[in-house]
């Protein structure tokens, strides 16, 4: 039965449409071998931060973590937008402890300010904040915005906060269509496409996982949520949403694996991509595999932009 379940799971994954939609999660969650939910109160006493937690996947992730007893830190650009999220959490989980912190993840100076002001010992950090501007946009430091929000800001924040247990980067299945562009990380050549820029930055997240997992004391994973019906999708991909809305997952379904990885015990090995509680291959096609030296080149660029040492020592030996 387990072998047959694995075949069905893989077939769903490779089909994309079936695997990424609510159908994939619905079928997989009823297959033999579906990983068990984390234990009740699995995160009791742990401090967990979620970026981009004012709506969509971030809000659903925060609620899921609160149900498991986490002491939550919602990291958002606009604290006012986080108020309904906090209200929903404390209504459903009256014992929840929730703090809201202002930070623009794409602004490296703001990330440094936030990290310097953060006083709690952090156990788990979920990087969920995301952007897809319609035209090429630059951050406060002059970086292409998708790369700043999805790669530079998260790496710097994790480097400064050093979570003690886990780091989860919420990526996108769109990265399967792109290879790592270490030759043009700022998207300075060619005609700019918002979906391509988004996917390139998400590809960079996945390609750097093994380096980040070795560098930090925490286990590091990326999760892709599949296709979920969120405000971000509605704003950035309205045509896609119109065509696929009957099949889209809700935000809670999209956040399921992020919440699961944040709390499951024992934690699986880090440095890998996950979807629907299973480790997934980082490539569907050989054409997206990185060229020799490209991952090291991209890591060198990231280190230069955020001002950290390039070395990637074993866990426990990272520069603080």
Distance (Å, rounded) from C-alpha 31 to C-alpha 201? 33
pLDDT on residue 313: 43
Same domain, 9 and 74: no
Asked if 83 and 8 sit in the same domain, the reply is no
Question: Which tokens is 33 given?
Answer: 């071998």
List the chain pLDDT tens, one digit each, 320 residues: 778 888 989 998 888 888 999 999 999 999 999 999 999 999 999 999 999 999 999 999 999 999 999 999 999 999 999 999 999 999 999 999 999 999 999 999 999 999 999 999 999 999 999 999 999 999 999 999 999 999 999 999 999 999 999 999 999 999 999 999 999 999 999 999 999 999 999 999 999 999 999 999 899 999 999 998 888 888 888 888 888 888 899 999 999 999 999 999 999 999 999 999 999 999 999 999 999 999 999 999 999 999 999 865 444 433 33
| HSE-CB for 290 with a 13 A CA cutoff | 21
- H or E element: which one contains 101? strand 97-102
pLDDT of 216 reads 94
Q: What is the CATH number of the domain that holds 260?
A: 3.40.50.720
Query: In degrees to the nearest 10, what's the CA dihedral of 155, 161, 166, 169?
Result: -30
Is 320 a member of any domain? Answer: no
Does the residue 238 lie in any domain? yes
Shared domain for 217 and 104, answered yes or no, is yes
Task: Assess if residue 3 is contained within a domain.
Answer: yes
Return the active site residues.
Answer: 198
154 and 281 inside one domain: yes
Q: Please tell me the total count of domains within the chain.
A: 2
314 assigned to some structural domain:
no
Asked if 154 and 25 sit in the same domain, the reply is no
242 located within any domain: yes
Residue 315 lies in a domain: no
Res 104: pLDDT: 98
Return the SS3 of 174.
helix
108 and 227 fall within a common domain: yes
What's the pLDDT score for residue 92?
A: 97
**Domain membership of residue 3 as a residue range:** 1-34
C-alpha span between 213 and 117 (Å, rounded): 25
Task: Give pTM, 2 decimals.
Answer: 0.94
């Amino acid at each position: 039965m387990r072998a047959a379940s694995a075949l069905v799971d893989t077939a769903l994954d490779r089909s994309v449409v079936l695997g990424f939609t609510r159908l994939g999660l619905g079928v997989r969650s009823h297959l033999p071998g579906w990983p068990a939910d984390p234990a009740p109160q699995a995160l009791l006493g742990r401090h967990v931060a979620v970026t981009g937690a004012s709506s969509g996947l971030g809000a659903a992730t925060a609620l899921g973590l609160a149900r498991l007893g986490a002491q939550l830190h919602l990291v958002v650009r606009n604290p006012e937008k986080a108020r309904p999220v906090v209200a929903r959490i404390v209504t459903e989980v009256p014992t929840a402890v929730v703090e809201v912190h202002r930070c623009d993840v794409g602004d490296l100076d703001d990330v440094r300010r936030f990290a310097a002001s953060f006083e709690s010992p952090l156990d788990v950090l979920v990087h969920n904040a995301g952007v897809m501007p319609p035209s090429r946009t630059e951050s406060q430091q002059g970086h292409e915005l998708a790369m700043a929000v999805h790669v530079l800001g998260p790496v710097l924040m994790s480097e400064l906060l050093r979570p003690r247990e886990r780091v989860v980067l919420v990526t996108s299945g769109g990265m399967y269509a792109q290879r790592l562009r270490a030759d043009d990380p700022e998207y300075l050549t060619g005609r700019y496409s918002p979906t391509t820029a988004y996917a390139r930055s998400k590809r960079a997240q996945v390609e750097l996982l093994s380096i980040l997992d070795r560098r930090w004391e925490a286990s590091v994973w990326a999760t892709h949520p599949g296709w979920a019906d969120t405000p971000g999708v509605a704003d950035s991909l309205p045509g896609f949403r119109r065509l696929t809305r009957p099949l889209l997952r809700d935000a809670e379904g999209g956040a399921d694996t992020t919440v699961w990885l944040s709390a499951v015990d024992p934690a699986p090995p880090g440095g890998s991509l996950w979807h629907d509680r299973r480790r997934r291959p980082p490539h569907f096609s050989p054409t997206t595999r990185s060229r020799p030296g490209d991952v090291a080149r991209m890591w060198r660029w990231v280190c230069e932009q955020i001002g950290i040492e390039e070395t990637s020592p074993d866990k426990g030996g990272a520069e603080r």
